[in-house]
A = this chain, B = another copy of it.
Amino acid sequence: VPVVSVAKGIENETLFRPTQIITDVLGDARKPSVAALSGPNIAAEIAKYLPATAVAASADAELAQRVQSAFATQWFRVYTNQDVIGVELAGATKNVIAIAAGILDGLAAGNNAKAALVTRGLVEITRLAVALGAREETFTGLAGLGDLITTCVSPEGRNRTVGERIGKGQKLADVLASMDSVAEGVPTTKSVMQLARRCKVEMPITEAVYAVLFEGKDVIHALTDLMTRDPKSEI
């Protein structure tokens, strides 16, 4: 029986992706055939049969197609992709950008700033993932850009909400203590920073989120630093 992961994150310390954890836990005795299903899929909307799309990713192309046909309906369109690394890294790293998006909302910084954040955020999470063996195209797809947009825009997102409360001046410990669900972007920020350092990849937005969450950096100061970096060419 193949295993389809719908979890998003990167384990602290091991820095494993969800399908790596599954393979690790199930061990050699039962080498599982694994796939990841990911995309812009807010659960409450799916439950109302609102139209949505997702990506079924597996190194085993046949399994990806099996997942595609098992889950596709008239209101849920599934694309296949063989880049499991990219799909899983996208699902994890976008939560860091979502915290930054929430901080902008907390500061009432507006939609121009939000759009710039999503655009430059996509650039840096793509850069890290490519260094880790992912395909760039996955990040302009539904599990990359698509999921990033939903997570940064939807008011109900847990990670965005954590950011918004921090943007309004609350302390991380207080925010987390008052929540009854998990904001996986917070521990994921630690894992992503560790990966960025290991791969020597520049991730200015992730660094800013890390400094705000774990080093007490002021949010206005973090935003000003990002806006006043040296003038650059876009590409």
Residues of A within 8 A of B (CB): 39-42, 45-46, 48, 50-53, 55, 68-69, 72, 74-75, 77-81, 109-116, 118-120, 122-123, 135, 137-138, 140-142, 145-147, 149-150, 153-154, 223-224, 227-229, 231-235
Interchain nearest-CB distance for A68 vs B (Å): 6
Question: Are A77's CB and B45's CB within 8 A?
Answer: no
Q: Which residues of B contact A111 (CB under 8 A)?
A: 40, 42, 45, 149-150, 153-154
Interchain nearest-CB distance for A97 vs B (Å): 12
Q: Which residues of B contact A141 (CB under 8 A)?
A: 119, 234-235
Interchain nearest-CB distance for A140 vs B (Å): 6
Question: Are A42's CB and B112's CB within 8 A?
Answer: yes
List the B residue with the shortest CB-CB distance to A113.
B51
Q: How far does the alpha carbon of A88 sit from the alpha carbon of B202 in the complex, in Å?
A: 29
Question: Are A135's CB and B227's CB within 8 A?
Answer: no
List the B residue with the shortest CB-CB distance to A40.
B115
Closest 9 CB pairs between A and B? A40-B115, A52-B112, A79-B234, A119-B146, A53-B116, A50-B110, A115-B150, A45-B110, A115-B149
Question: Are B116's CB and A235's CB within 8 A?
Answer: no
Question: Are B145's CB and A145's CB within 8 A?
Answer: yes
Known: A42-B111, A112-B41. A119 touches B149 (CB 8 A): yes
Chosen A-B contacts, 21 in total, with CB atoms closer than 8 Å, are A41-B112, A42-B110, A42-B112, A45-B110, A51-B109, A52-B110, A52-B113, A74-B227, A77-B228, A77-B231, A79-B232, A111-B154, A114-B150, A115-B145, A119-B140, A119-B142, A122-B145, A123-B140, A137-B235, A145-B145, A149-B149
Question: Are B135's CB and A119's CB within 8 A?
Answer: no
Question: Are B150's CB and A112's CB within 8 A?
Answer: yes
Question: Are A79's CB and B115's CB within 8 A?
Answer: no
Instruction: Choose one: B80, B227, B232, B233; the contact of A233 (CB below 8 Å).
Output: B80
Q: Which residues of B contact A147 (CB under 8 A)?
A: 115
Q: Which residues of B contact A55 (CB under 8 A)?
A: 234
Q: How far does the alpha carbon of A233 sit from the alpha carbon of B137 in the complex, in Å?
A: 12
